[in-house]
């Protein structure tokens, strides 16, 4: 049991330190930090939310253009 706890603690410590090293290395390579990615993601969600009603409006308009007109007597 003591060996299992020691192995588990060593593995968790190694993985935790490796994760911090990757987190510290990421902004230098990509040029974007976490806040800028959240900022761009927020505006991407706004654009995606506006896309659905725009497509509905466009399809409704084109459906009205190509619909057969009723003849009046």
pLDDT at 46: 95
Residue boundaries of the structural domains of the chain: 1-31, 32-73
pTM, two decimal places: 0.42
> What SS3 string covers 5-68?
HHHHHHHHHHHHHHHHHHHHHHHHHHCCCHHHHHHHHHHHHHHHHHHHHHHHHHHHHHHHHCCC
Report, as an integer, the average pLDDT of 55-65.
Answer: 93
Q: Dump pLDDT digits (tens) for 13-40.
A: 777 666 555 555 555 565 778 898 899 9
């Amino acid at each position: 049991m003591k060996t299992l706890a020691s192995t588990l603690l060593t593995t968790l410590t190694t993985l935790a330190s490796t994760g911090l090293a990757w987190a510290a290395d990421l902004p230098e390579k990509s040029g974007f930090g976490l806040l800028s990615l959240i900022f761009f993601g927020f505006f991407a969600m706004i654009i995606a939310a506006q896309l659905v009603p725009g497509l509905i409006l466009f399809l409704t308009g084109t459906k009205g253009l190509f619909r057969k007109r009723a003849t009046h007597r």
